[in-house]
Structure 1
Amino acid sequence: MEHQDLLAGFIRLHILHHAAESDLYGQWMIEELGRHGYKLSAGTLYPMLHAMEQRGYLTSRLERAGRSQRRVYRATPLGCEALAMARERMRELFHEVLPGPTG
C-alpha cells in the first residue's frame, strides 16, 4: 500500500470505529477497507489487529464459521475511549487541514 506508514493510523481508527459498532473479522475488514481505497493483505491486517488487541483496544474470540473457525474482534471500553478522543482530534485536524468553502 502506498504511503502505508502515513495511512496506518487512519486504518487503525477505521478498524476501531467498526469494532465499536459491532463484531468484525479480518476478511470483512479487508473488504471494508478496500471499499475505501485501502488495499491491505491479510499479512498486514492480522498483525495490526493482534497488536491492537495486545494494547487493549480490541478483544477477540473464536467463532465457528461453517467447518472452520474465525477470530471475531470487538472494541473494548479502552478502545471506545480512545476512539472518542481520536474523533475529537480528527475534527480539529480536519478543520485545519481541509480547505474551507473559500478554498
Structure 2
Amino acid sequence: MEDKRLRKLFLGFIQIHILHHAKEHPIFGVWMLEELYEHGYDISPGTLYPILHSMESDGLLEKEEKKVDGKIRKYYTTTEKGNEILIEARNKAYELFKEIRE
C-alpha cells in the first residue's frame, strides 16, 4: 500500500473486515494479520494493533485476555454497536458495489 490515498481507503475496508470476523468468532491480532494477507492486505502489526485499539475505544470491539502458551493473548469480539455499524457498512458496501460494478 504505497499510495497514501489507497492506504486511507483500504483502512476503512480493513475495519469492516475486522468487524465481520469479530462478529463470527473471537479474533486475535496474528490471526487477523494472516486473514487480511490472504485477501491482499499486506499490513504490519504496527498498523493493525492501533486499529484494533481504536475500534475498542470507539466501542465497536470488546477485548478479553486469555493465557495461551504462557502468554496473554487479546481476543476481540464485536459489541452491539459494532454489530450495528457492520450492518450499516454491509448495506453501504452493497449499494456501492451495485453502482460501480458496471
Provide the TM-score with structure 1 as the length reference: 0.93
**Cα RMSD, aligned residues only:** 0.7
Partner of residue 76 from structure 2, selected from 63, 73, 77: 73
Query: What is the deviation of 1:4?
Result: 1.0
Matches within 5 A, 1:1-103: 1-2=1-2, 3-99=6-102
> How far apart in 2 are the matches of 1:46 and 1:63?
17
Unaligned runs of 5+ in 2: none
What is the number of equivalent residue pairs in this alignment? 99
**Moved >3 Å (runs of 4+):** none
Unaligned runs of 5+ in 1: none
Query: What is the deviation of 1:45?
Result: 0.1
Q: Deviations over 1:14-47 (max 9, x none)?
A: 0000001110000000000000010011100000
Query: What is the deviation of 1:72?
Result: 0.5
Provide the TM-score with structure 2 as the length reference: 0.94
